[in-house]
Chains A and B, each alone.
Chain A
Amino acid sequence: MAATTHTLTIPSSTRFLEDVREFVTSHAEKAEFSESEVEQLKMAVDEACANVIEHAYHGETEQPIDIAVIIQPDRLTVRIRDKGRQFNQVNYQEPDLAKYAKAKKSGGFGVHIMRRLMDEVQYRTTGGVNECCLVKFRN
């Protein structure tokens, strides 16, 4: 199946999240996804990259994060690659807000948001490279 790929590499600092959102928004709009779908893609990618910065690179700000927007006739995939620490997505649980508030817990919603907004969220690690793929099918 024909695919068009657009790539962006950012350093692992939260200051570049804005650039990632603009990059994904621009290509999702050009691929004629709806306004709400573009918003969902933008947010899911932001969460995925913020997770890489916090959990894979532990706040190191100069490590590379490679982002690719892959457009196919039936879907848009955003692939995010890093070479940081692999973090465990297997133990993911739906967040319990009341418990989080009691515990004054400020994190842990990102994966939930990604899963709610995307049609597919896949993780794999090969040869020291962690990869997260976020998939949105065309309606």
Chain B
Amino acid sequence: MSNFSVGFRNSGTVQILDLKGELDAHTASELEAAIQKCQADNQVQIIINGANLLYISSAGLGVFMAYIEEVRECGGDIKIAALQPKVYNVFDLLGFPMLFDIVDLEEDAVGKFVVA
């Protein structure tokens, strides 16, 4: 049984994905499906809210890597917000802050899209 889920919310034109549980090689396909759904809906301003994300492995990080260029090519972005410290450490371990916009607060990520 999967202990991972993705919730969908909107803030204006921005699509927010609430990640909950443990994102690993088994559950990464659920995140991939969620991002594909955003693309199918022409929704490319995406915020990943990680407040309830308890764990991420390289398979989960790989999903962000696989889609970031496509989303940016369409004029959007995948911004990451509200990560728990131990999950942020994994992003940091692989140097993701160099490539991704990672912020503490979801509203700051929303604000960056509005300004952009």
Complex contact A47–B58 (CB within 8 A): yes
Q: Which of A82-90, A104-112, A118-126 lies at the binding interface?
A: A104-112
A71 at the interface (CB under 8 A from B): no
Main secondary structure on chain A at its contact with chain B? Answer: helix
- Tell which of A53, A100, A102 touches B25, judged by Cβ atoms closer than 8 Å: A53
Set of chain A residues within 8 Å of B55, measured between Cβ atoms: 21, 42-43
B11 at the interface (CB under 8 A from A): no
- Tell which of A21, A39, A43, A100 touches B65, judged by Cβ atoms closer than 8 Å: A100
Complex contact B62–A109 (CB within 8 A): yes
B61 at the interface (CB under 8 A from A): yes
Taking residues whose C-beta sits less than 8 angstroms from the other chain, chain A's interface range is: 20 to 34
- A108 CA to B65 CA in the complex, in Å? 11
Set of chain B residues within 8 Å of A47, measured between Cβ atoms: 57-58
Complex contact B69–A102 (CB within 8 A): yes
Complex contact B57–A46 (CB within 8 A): yes
- A42 CA to B93 CA in the complex, in Å? 15
9 extra interface residue pairs, beta carbon distance < 8 Å, beyond A21-B55, A50-B25, A100-B65: A17-B57, A43-B55, A53-B25, A97-B65, A104-B65, A113-B58, A113-B94, A116-B93, A117-B93
B residues adjacent to A (C-beta < 8 A): 3, 22, 24-26, 55, 57-59, 61-63, 65-70, 86, 90, 93-96, 98-99
A residues adjacent to B (C-beta < 8 A): 13-15, 17-18, 21, 36, 39, 42-43, 46-47, 50, 53-54, 95, 97-98, 100-102, 104-110, 112-113, 116-117
